[in-house]
Amino acid sequence: MQIPREQITGLVLAGGRGTRMGGVDKGLQPLRGEPLAAHVMRRLAPQTGALLISANRHPDIYAALGAPYGATVVADTLPDFPGPLAGMLAGLRAAGSAYLLSVPCDSPWLPADLAARLAHALDENQADLATVTTVDAHGDASLHPVFALMRTALVDDLSAFLAAGERKVRAWYARHKTVEVVFTDERPFYNANSLQELADLERHRGPG
């Protein structure tokens, strides 16, 4: 890993509407007795320097969850929950490092080498962004765009992109040199978009 851990700020994206969960705050839904976001922070914190949590609701609860890791809670500056790019923008503005690593709040088993692998690819390819693609046993590929390591120097470009009314993550990535890092085990990227998927995580998936 060419990029020092201290130069990477971690960002847990927990600012969404939770629409497919009936509007609940997804990051606070329990898995094995703890909020999803707590599982994510436990796996992300050892891989980064500072830690941020993007949250638009329940900031006090997220602050308490992040306290063991010295995490800071940031909120979108744009109204009406405009999506993960708004959370990334808040993270880019708050980060005091050269790089930001974003992850969703609902993927509790994210890889322990996520930062190292993305940092290696970004540095090796002199890219602006590195994101994740998984390939399953059948050879089918899936992109996981909110798992992304990006240069914080992109902050002004992202701000302008959102100010123009754009919202799509992949469309913003396409404006920059982006490298996709292939993970052959898709299980660490399982997430919980619905209460049923959360129940599946509880019963079947993850370590331990």
Strands, E assignment, 78-191: 99-104, 129-135, 141-151, 178-183
Inform me whether the pLDDT recorded for 207 exceeds 60: no
DSSP assignment letter at 205: -
Tokens representing 10?
């971690």
Q: What is the pLDDT of residue 208?
A: 47
Is residue 205 over pLDDT 70? Answer: no
Query: Is a pLDDT exceeding 90 seen at residue 153?
Result: yes
Domains and CATH numbers, the chain: 5-204 (3.90.550.10)
Contact between 119 and 28 (Cβ < 8 Å): no
Percent of the chain with pLDDT over 70: 92
Query: Per-residue pLDDT tens for 167-204?
Result: 999 999 999 999 999 999 888 998 887 778 888 888 76
**What's the average model confidence in pLDDT over 55-78?**
93
Query: CA angle at residue 38 from 35 to 43, to 5 degrees?
Result: 140
In sequence order, which residues have a C-beta less than 8 Å from that of residue 19 and are 6 or more positions away? Answer: none
pLDDT at 18: 57
